[in-house]
Structure 1
Amino acid sequence: MLIDAHAHLLPHDYPADAPECFPRMEPVDGSDARLLLFGATRFTAKKVFFDAEARIEAQDASGVDAEVLTPMPPLLRHDLPVDDGLALARHVNEFTATLCAAAPGRIYGFGMVPLQDPDTAAAELKQIRDAGLHGVEIASAVLGTPIGDQRFRGFFEEAQRLDLPVFVHAMPVPTDRLPGSAMGTHVVGLEGATAAASMITGGTAAACPDLRLSFSHAAGGFPLVLPRAQYFWSGVWNEEPPEPARAFAHTEGPSPMDYARRFYYDSMVFDHRALRYLVDLLGHDRLLAGSDFPAMPREQPCGRTLRSLDLPAAELEDIIWFNAFRWLGLDPPA
């Protein structure tokens, strides 16, 4: 069995009377695809983005037994007025629930919220759960503020209270430090790392010990800077017992590594050496198979590189499906 814990959807269309700031999905001549028009975004969405039958066919073709579906990240527009953002989230969430109902057991849908207003976003989580959705997707930052900022603490506390997992998708932010061509690669890596680090340094990881949080693309560069954070916490290399006299910070309580090993990370890192590092550093029980499909093509078959690591069978099974159900808070199928 393989669960793809990082896959995306787009609604087929939007209400005719929707606010002008809403996305539009226009027909594509001679095709069953749709053209997404949303601000500066122009994206041709294949039928598999919004059609349950096409999704199941694609799963079967690549050896996938089920997917965790989250909205395509461009829909996470935190610059919209709150009322418009809430209306958009509810439309997308309703579509997602309908799509999941067409293929129970094969699609586990996540909702979205207007996190630009944390109180409104927190209040919407119960509606997401009541609609039968299994979690919520958020961006790595909101209008430039990392998610670990104190203003979002109540949102995460409510997600923990409702037992809803959270998927953090790295999102590029405008910057003049890198060219525009780097937005989908280096900037995403930086934002993923900042989001994960902020959850620890901002205190949310300590305040929400039972929150089930997953980061896209293994939180970018975060796993590589994590040993440095551990060193400054402990004063020693290689996770040896801390030496408080040599540490740069207090060594009471959980370490940065302890907090990081509460999170989940998807396997979308493109290289068997990177995957091996993640297994060694974070543990096989922290990793989820993910593909970013259909925004990106899957490996054929899905999980091919994971299987090439020659992990013990129990560790591989954790990564390719057991961990996904642990993150979702569901009993795995027999």
Structure 2
Amino acid sequence: MLVDAHAHLLPRDYPADAPECFPRMEPIDGDTARTLLFGRTKFRARDAFFDAERRLEEMAKSGVDVEVLSPMPPLLRYDLPVADGLSLARHVNEFTGALCATAQTRFFGLGMVPLQDPEMAAKELASFSETGLHGVEIASNVLGSSIGDEKFLPFFAEAERLGLAVFVHAMPAATDRLPASAMGTYVVGLEGALAAASLISGGIAAKCPNLRISFSHAAGGFGLMVTRAQYFWSGTWNEEPPVPEKAIAHDDGPSPLDYARRFYYDSMVFDARALRYLIDLLGHDRLLAGSDFPAMPREEPAGRTLRSLALPEAALEDITWHNAFRFLGVDPPA
């Protein structure tokens, strides 16, 4: 079995009486695709984004058995007025639930919330059971604020209490340190790393020990940053037993790597060598197969690089499907 834990959807349409700040999906003459118009975003959305039958056909071509579906990241617009953000989230969540209901053993949905208001976002999570959603997608920052900021603790605590999975999708943030052309490449990697590091350094990982959370694109450069944090905590190299008197930032809690190994990470890092490192450092029980489909083409067949690593069968099965259901908190379908 192969579960694609990083796949996206878009609603086919939006209400005719929706606020002007809502997205629009315009038809394209002679094409089954539609054009997403949302602020400065103009994107040709192929029909697999919103048509369940087409998704299943594409899955069959690539050898994918199950998809974990989350909203296309441009929909995570935290700059909208809170009431409009809530209305948009509810529309997207209803569409996600309806699409997943067409094939309940093949599609597992993640919703969205207006995280610009953390308390409202936390309250909205209670409605997810009504639409059959198994978790929530959030961006790696909220209007420039780190998701590890204490103001987001009520949201994460409620997700933990309800047993909902949280998927953190790296979102480019404005920076004058790199050119605009780097937004989708290097900046995405920086964003993922900052998001994961902030949950540890800000204390949310400690306060929500049972939170099931995953990061797109393996949290960018986090896998190389966390080993430095481990050294500062332990005073030793190579994860040897800590020597507190030599450490720079030791405490009595779990180590940075202990926290990192509570998180999940999707495997979309585009290189077998990077995958080997992540498996060695974080464990095969922490990785999820992912593709960003249909925003990006899948590797053909899906999971080809993973299978090229000659991993033990149990480790490969963890990454290709067991871990996805653990992350979701559900039993695998028969």
Match of 2:124 in 1: 124
Match of 2:198 in 1: 198
Write the letter of the residue equivalent to 1:27.
Answer: P
2:103 is paired with a residue of what secondary structure? Answer: coil
Query: Structure 2 CA distance, aligned partners of 1:185 and 1:14?
Result: 30
Matched, 1:172 2:165: no
Instruction: State the 4+ residue runs in structure 1 displaced beyond 4 angstroms.
Output: none
Query: Structure 2 CA distance, aligned partners of 1:15 and 1:326?
Result: 35
Query: Structure 2 CA distance, aligned partners of 1:21 and 1:331?
Result: 39
**CA-CA distance at 1:149 after TM superposition:** 0.3
Write the letter of the residue equivalent to 2:226.
Answer: L
1:161-202 deviation digits (Å, cap 9, x = unpaired): 000000000000111111111010111100100000000000
**CA-CA distance at 1:129 after TM superposition:** 2.4
Match of 1:32 in 2: 32
Matched, 1:16 2:45: no
1:21 is paired with a residue of what secondary structure? Answer: coil
Query: Structure 2 CA distance, aligned partners of 1:231 and 1:315?
Result: 28
Query: Structure 2 CA distance, aligned partners of 1:271 and 1:327?
Result: 23
Query: Structure 2 CA distance, aligned partners of 1:129 and 1:6?
Result: 21
**CA-CA distance at 1:148 after TM superposition:** 0.5
**CA-CA distance at 1:136 after TM superposition:** 0.3
Query: Structure 2 CA distance, aligned partners of 1:132 and 1:72?
Result: 19
Matched, 1:184 2:187: no
Given that 2:230 and 2:239 are in contact with CA atoms closer than 8 Å, whether structure 1 keeps it comes out as: yes
Query: Structure 2 CA distance, aligned partners of 1:240 and 1:130?
Result: 48
Match of 2:97 in 1: 97
Query: Structure 2 CA distance, aligned partners of 1:194 and 1:128?
Result: 28
2:182 is paired with a residue of what secondary structure? Answer: helix
Match of 2:85 in 1: 85
Q: CA RMSD in A?
A: 0.6
**CA-CA distance at 1:331 after TM superposition:** 1.2
Query: Structure 2 CA distance, aligned partners of 1:102 and 1:130?
Result: 16
Match of 2:309 in 1: 309
Query: Structure 2 CA distance, aligned partners of 1:132 and 1:319?
Result: 24
Given that 1:129 and 1:135 are in contact with CA atoms closer than 8 Å, whether structure 2 keeps it comes out as: no
Given that 2:217 and 2:269 are in contact with CA atoms closer than 8 Å, whether structure 1 keeps it comes out as: yes
1:91 is paired with a residue of what secondary structure? Answer: helix
Write the letter of the residue equivalent to 2:301.
Answer: P
**CA-CA distance at 1:251 after TM superposition:** 3.5
Query: Structure 2 CA distance, aligned partners of 1:273 and 1:211?
Result: 29
1:18 is paired with a residue of what secondary structure? Answer: coil
Structural mapping, 1:182-331, within 5 Å = 182-331=182-331
Write the letter of the residue equivalent to 1:152.
Answer: F
TM-score between both structures, scaled by the size of structure 2: 0.99
Matched, 1:151 2:137: no
Structure 2 stretches lacking a partner, 5+ long? none
Query: Structure 2 CA distance, aligned partners of 1:130 and 1:145?
Result: 30
- Aligned residues, how many? 334
Query: Structure 1 CA distance, aligned partners of 2:178 and 2:315?
Result: 38
Write the letter of the residue equivalent to 2:37.
Answer: L
1:101-147 deviation digits (Å, cap 9, x = unpaired): 11111110110000000011000001012211110000000000010
Query: Structure 2 CA distance, aligned partners of 1:325 and 1:227?
Result: 28
Given that 2:232 and 2:250 are in contact with CA atoms closer than 8 Å, whether structure 1 keeps it comes out as: no
Write the letter of the residue equivalent to 2:228.
Answer: R
2:317 is paired with a residue of what secondary structure? Answer: helix
Query: Structure 1 CA distance, aligned partners of 2:231 and 2:265?
Result: 22
**CA-CA distance at 1:253 after TM superposition:** 1.5
Query: Structure 1 CA distance, aligned partners of 2:8 and 2:331?
Result: 23
1:174 is paired with a residue of what secondary structure? Answer: coil
2:80 is paired with a residue of what secondary structure? Answer: coil
Match of 2:112 in 1: 112
**CA-CA distance at 1:231 after TM superposition:** 0.2
Match of 2:75 in 1: 75
Given that 2:3 and 2:64 are in contact with CA atoms closer than 8 Å, whether structure 1 keeps it comes out as: yes
Match of 2:160 in 1: 160
Given that 1:234 and 1:251 are in contact with CA atoms closer than 8 Å, whether structure 2 keeps it comes out as: no
Given that 2:134 and 2:165 are in contact with CA atoms closer than 8 Å, whether structure 1 keeps it comes out as: yes
Q: Percent identity?
A: 75
Given that 2:3 and 2:321 are in contact with CA atoms closer than 8 Å, whether structure 1 keeps it comes out as: yes
